[in-house]
Amino acid sequence: MNYQAVKDFIAQRRAVISEEDHSTLVAILDRMAEKERPQLVEESNRLKVLGNSAYERGNLEEALALYTQAIEAYPLNAPVYSNRALIYSKLNRDSEGIADCLAGIKIDPDFTKFYVRLGTMYLKTDRKKASHYFKEGLARDPDNEYLQSLAKSTEEEEDKSSVMSNLAQYLQSDSVQNAVKDFMKDKSAADIADMFRSAFPKS
């Protein structure tokens, strides 16, 4: 019985295996993985190369299947999670792409592509999280120019958004609303029209 067969056997019977037996089986599995690791890594990398080729041809579904097989062959091959996350993102399946990046970070927290991908996916829904992941990536690779530009542009967008939000809140405040009402109460329609004409002259 090889590593994968034992792994599948344990997974299928997890509900009926005691905690003690499970720990023993996991230890056996770890020893088997150690012996078989070179072949597993080689197979995973072979599938990754095929996935890369499918991606370059524009066949996203085939690339996705091959990257999934590469992960199944050797679940500690961190770059494959990044590649599959990219495919998920292109297929508008960001939640799965995010999950892959987070799983990959547990394996190799210094692989900066995870932070690029996370930040890029979060740009669509949560700019603060996007900024957080870009900064996390920069903390690990301060000289990465691409991460620097992503972090900078996200910060600038956050600053602009914050200013607009504060301005909107200020304009909606009771004191400003009351001041506008007081200012406008004695003005005629003609006065108001004149104010608008002088504020926004025709070019």
Sign of CA dihedral 136, 137, 140, 145: negative
DSSP per-residue letters across 143-156? T-HHHHHHHHHHHH
pLDDT tens-digit readout, 68-108: 999 999 888 999 999 999 999 999 999 999 999 999 999 99
Q: Are 48 and 83 in contact (CB under 8 A)?
A: yes
Tokens of 33: 């993985």
Q: Are 81 and 101 in contact (CB under 8 A)?
A: yes
Q: Which residue segments constitute the domains of the chain, with CATH numbers given?
A: 1-85 (1.25.40)
Which residues does 79 contact at the CB level (< 8 Å), separation at least 6?
48, 104, 111, 113
Q: Are 69 and 99 in contact (CB under 8 A)?
A: no
Indicate whether 163 pLDDT > 50.
no
1: Cα separation from own chain's centroid: 38
Residue 119 banded pLDDT, cuts 50, 70, 90: very high
Tokens of 53: 């080729």
Best CA proximity match to 150, nearest among 179, 118, 182, 178: 118
Residue scoring higher pLDDT (11 or 139): 139
Average pLDDT over residues 2-30: 73
Predicted pLDDT of residue 101? 96
**Amino acid at residue number 152:** K
